Amino acid sequence: MNQRLVKVILVLAIALLTVPSAAKAKKELRSSDPLFGIGYSPSKIKFDPAPAEVFRCTGLLEERRKLWVFGKHKKDEVTFYYVYGLIEADFGAGPTGEFEAQNDDGIIVAVAPKGCKEIGAGYALSPDPKARKMAADIGVTDDVLSALLSDLIAREVKAFGGVNNFLAKVKEAGIPESSLEPQVRAKLHALKEQAGAKRGATSTPTPLDNIPVNGIR
């Protein structure tokens, strides 16, 4: 066997050893948005990653997460973030390095000069007055929630390629509009009005920021 052939065989052997098998290949991470169930690949559809200040919250330090910003609003000295993403899978044997989509409505984080607080977005969106009060206690009042939802929809419209593409993806996701929280449904309806107006509809569109949440604009 000549030297040239030996080199070719060695190169091929090394290549086979270094190429991961299909079984070991790292699977692509999948996530979804927190409200409409729109699935997407974070490597292709880009949302802003949650800033370091978000992870100062005690509850978020306890678990490993990959979070993206879906809504942001500043009121006085407090910055509110609506974040959602992936959480590390826990099989009871320590860190796994495997991440899966959160199975909730996301998290609203209130970052102030004196510290950070967080609450599940489901509390802010809940029709239950007790749950709403818990959200309001950390500053997520109706006006803050309305601003966060407006920003969330604006970010998703941009990320998914425009109003029509976004609305198509909402429809494809298959969540009945009637099952959405009233605040979210109102914002979505306003967006559809805007889209209709641009196509030549005669109705006057209602800006997203003017849609009331629990009576508050």
- For residue 55, being part of any structural domain is answered with yes
Phi–psi pair at 23, nearest 5 degrees: -70, -30
32-83 pLDDT tens trace: 899 999 999 988 999 999 998 998 886 776 567 788 999 999 999 999 999 9
Number of domains in the chain: 1
Query: Which string of DSSP letters, residue by residue, matches 81-149?
Result: EEEEEEEE---SSS----EEE-SSS-EEEEEETTEEEEEEHHHHH-S-HHHHHHHHTTT--HHHHHHHH
Rounded mean pLDDT, 20-29: 50
Rounded mean pLDDT, 141-148: 96
- For residue 64, being part of any structural domain is answered with yes
Amino acid at 180: L
Is the model's pLDDT at 17 over the cut of 60?
Answer: no
- For residue 54, being part of any structural domain is answered with yes
Whether residue 207 contacts residue 76, with contact meaning beta carbons closer than 8 Å, is answered with no
- For residue 119, being part of any structural domain is answered with yes
Gap between the Cα atoms of 84 and 101, Å rounded: 9
> What pLDDT is attached to residue 122?
94
74-106 pLDDT tens trace: 999 999 999 998 776 665 555 556 666 666 789
- For residue 216, being part of any structural domain is answered with no
> What pLDDT is attached to residue 194?
85
Rounded mean pLDDT, 143-149: 97
- For residue 25, being part of any structural domain is answered with no
User: In terms of residue numbers, what domain contains 106?
Assistant: 31-210
- For residue 21, being part of any structural domain is answered with no
Question: pTM of the prediction?
Answer: 0.76
Confidence of residue 156 (pLDDT cuts 50, 70, 90): very high
146 or 22: which leads in pLDDT: 146
Rounded mean pLDDT, 147-168: 96
Report the alpha-carbon angle 155-160-166, nearest 5. 90
- For residue 215, being part of any structural domain is answered with no
In this structure, the number of other CB atoms found within 10 A of the CB of residue 158 comes to: 13
